[in-house]
Amino acid sequence: MTFTLPPTSSNPSFNPSTSPSSDPSPTPERAPRLTVIGTGYLGATHAVSMAFLGYEVLGVDIDPRKIALLNEGTVPFFEPGLPEKLEEALASGRLRFTTDLDEAAEFGDVHFVCVGTPQKLGSEAADLRFVDSAFTELASRITRKVLLVGKSTVPIGTAERLTALVQQISPLGAELEVAWNPEFLREGFAVQDTLHPDRLVFGVSSPWAEDRLRAAFEPILAEGTPLIVTDLATAELVKSAANSFLATKISYINAMSEVCEATGADVTQLAEALGLDDRIGSKFLKPGLGFGGGCLPKDIRSFKHRAEELGIGAAVAFLGEVDAINIRRRLRTVALIRQVVGGDLTGVRVAALGAAFKPDSDDVRDAPALDVARMLYLEGAVVSVYDPEAAVNAHRVYPDLEYASTLDQALADADVTVLLTEWEEFRTADPVEMGARVRSRTVVDTRNALSPDRFRAAGWDYWALGRPHTAPVPVSNRSESVLATLDKSADLPC
C-alpha cells in the first residue's frame, strides 16, 4: 500500500521521517468513522490524535463544560503538544465534540470507550460503573453492525461480561461485537505514544473485529508498529500486567534504597550498576519518592483484588508489598525532613517544589509530592507548594496548603527546600540564586534529580533518599539556629 506526502499546510507538524509511510491519512475506502466515548485524559488524546491521522472523529462526554472547551480548542488538562494537535484537528473539520449519544451511535463505525475506572471507595476493586454505563447506553442506541472497543483498564472478565450485556440490550443482539484495545500512554508523552506507539494489542472475537481495528489503526500499522492480536481476556491482562511489572521495578529499587539508608551505600550508583545489566535495564529503575498518578497505584490494587476473586490471590500477593514499599517512601521522606531540621517540624518553613505525581503533568491523583507536603503541614510546618502546572488541581485536593505562584516565592525565607517532583525548572535552577532567597541552604532531594556537587559547591546542605550525607561548604547566609539543630549523627543516614 502506498501513500503520498500531503501538502505541508494540511499537516504541518506531522513528521514523515518517523514513519516509512509519508501520508498519515487512512485509505479512504477503508476508513471507518470513529467515536470516542469519554473525553478525559485518554479519550481527548485519542480523539485528537486519530483526527490528526485523517479519520473523522466524534468525541462524546456527558460533561457539557468539557465539551464546550474542547470545541473551542481548549484542552481541559495539561499535556504537552495536545493543544496544538487539537487546534489543527478542529481546523481540518475532521473532529468535533458532543454530549449527544444518539448522534454518536448513528455516526460511528468503531466506538472507542475511554471512560475512567477509578478505585472503589473503601475497596481495592476497580469501579466499573462508568464503563458499564457507557457500553449499555451506547448499545441500546445502535441499530447497525459496528464495533465497540474498550480502551479503559479493566479487570479480566470485563469484556466477556460486557459482550453478553450489550448483546442483550442492543436491537442487533449477537451481531454487536466487543473488542479490547488497551492503551499504554505516558503522561507528558501521550500524543507521541498515540501516534507512534511501541505496540498495539487487539483483543477480538472474530476476523471481522480484527479487520475493523486494522482499518481504524491503518496509518499506525503502516509504520511497522508491532501488533498482537489475541483474545479478550489476554488483551485485558496486558495493561494490568505491564503496570504491575513497572510498579514492581520502581518499588524494588526503592526497597534497595531502604537498605542503602541503613548501610551507608549509595542507591543511585547501585541503580546505575544494575541498569547496565541488559537483563534488567535502567528504565523505571529510578530510586526516589515512588510512583503515583491515576494508573499504577489503582491498577495494581485492582489486579490483586481480581486475582483474589478468582482464587489465585497467592500468585500476585507480592503486589501488596509493592504497594506498601511505595507508600513507605512518603513516610520515610517526612522522617528524613524531620531529622534534617532537628526532630521537630513545628514552625519550620518548607519550600515544597512540586505537587504533580510526575513532571510534565498536572495530575495530582495519588501524588506522593502532595501527600508529603500535606503530612509536613499536619506536623506543624509552614509549607509553601509550587508546581508549574498542578497548583489548581492540588488546591482542590488540599485547599488548606499555601501555594506559591513562582519558584522564588516558594523559596522565600525557607528553612528547608524539598524537591518533590522533578520538573525541568527545578532541575536546571541555579543553586546560587536559589540560595540567595532561602533562610537556610538545606535541600532534600526526594527524586535524586539534582546535582549534589552543584548544590554543595553553592553552600547547600544536600540530603537525598538512599544516599550518604556529606557536610556542606558553609556560607554566610545560612541560618545558624537551624544549623545548630541538625543532627548529623542520627540513625537514618541518607
| Domain boundary residue, one of 309, 324, 339 | 324
Same domain, 287 and 409: no
- At position 413, the amino acid (one-letter code) is D
Mean pLDDT, rounded, for 1-29: 40
Point out the domain boundary residue: 209, 230, 251. Answer: 230
For residues 74 and 166, membership in a common domain is answered with yes
Residue 417, domain CATH: 3.40.50.720
Residues 258, 181 share a domain: no
Active-site annotation holds for 114: no
**Is 122 among the domain residues?**
yes
Residue 357 has pLDDT above 80, yes or no: yes
Instruction: Give how many domains the chain has, as a whole number.
Output: 3
Cβ(190)–Cβ(199) below 8 Å: no
- When pLDDT is cut at 50, 70 and 90, the band that residue 137 belongs to is very high
Summarize pLDDT for 215-261 with one digit per residue, the tens. 999 999 999 999 999 999 999 999 999 999 999 999 999 999 999 99
Q: Is residue 208 part of a domain?
A: yes
User: Could you tell me which residues come within 8 angstroms of residue 65 by beta carbon, excluding any fewer than 6 positions away?
Assistant: none
pLDDT score recorded for residue 472: 60
Which neighbouring-strand residues pair with 383? Answer: 350
In a domain, 289, yes or no: yes
Q: For position 492, what pLDDT does the model report?
A: 27
- Please say whether the beta carbons of 249 and 326 come within 8 A: no
Helix or strand or coil: residue 96? strand
Residue 378: CA count within 13 A, CB half-sphere: 9
Handedness of CA 415, 450, 379, 392 (dihedral sign): positive
114, 260, 295, 494: the active-site residue? 295
* Residues 295, 439 within the same domain: no
Is 220 in the same domain as 278? no
Plot region of 178 (φ>0 → left; ψ -120 to 50 → alpha; else → beta): beta
- Say if residue 274's pLDDT is above 50: yes
Q: What is the pLDDT of residue 24?
A: 57
- Which CATH number does the domain housing residue 259 bear? 1.10.1040.10
**Whether residue 163 sits in one domain with residue 31:** yes
Residue where one domain finishes, among candidates 230, 250, 283: 230
d(CA 6, CA 52): 12
**Is residue 394 one of the residues assigned to a domain?**
yes
- 252 and 181 in one domain? no
CB 382 within 8 A of CB 410: no
Same domain, 379 and 276: no
Whether residues 408 and 462 share a domain: the answer is yes
Tell whether 10 is covered by a domain.
no
Q: Decide if 190 is inside a domain.
A: yes
Does residue 97 belong to any structural domain of this protein?
yes
CA distances in angstroms from 151 to 20, 36, 43, 46, 144, listed in the order given:
27, 10, 9, 10, 22
Residues 112 and 168 in one domain: yes
Which residue in 368, 375, 174 sits closest to 288, CA to CA?
A: 368
Which sign does the torsion angle of CA 275, 276, 280, 282 carry? positive
Give exposure, 61-73, as e/b (b: 16+ Cβ within 10 Å).
Answer: bbeeebbebbeee
- 286: pLDDT strictly greater than 70: yes
Q: Note whether 272 and 219 are same-domain residues.
A: no
> Are 302 and 437 contained in the same domain?
no
Q: Give domain status of residue 11, yes or no.
A: no
For 309, the domain range is 240-324
Distance of CA 104 to the CA centre of its chain: 28
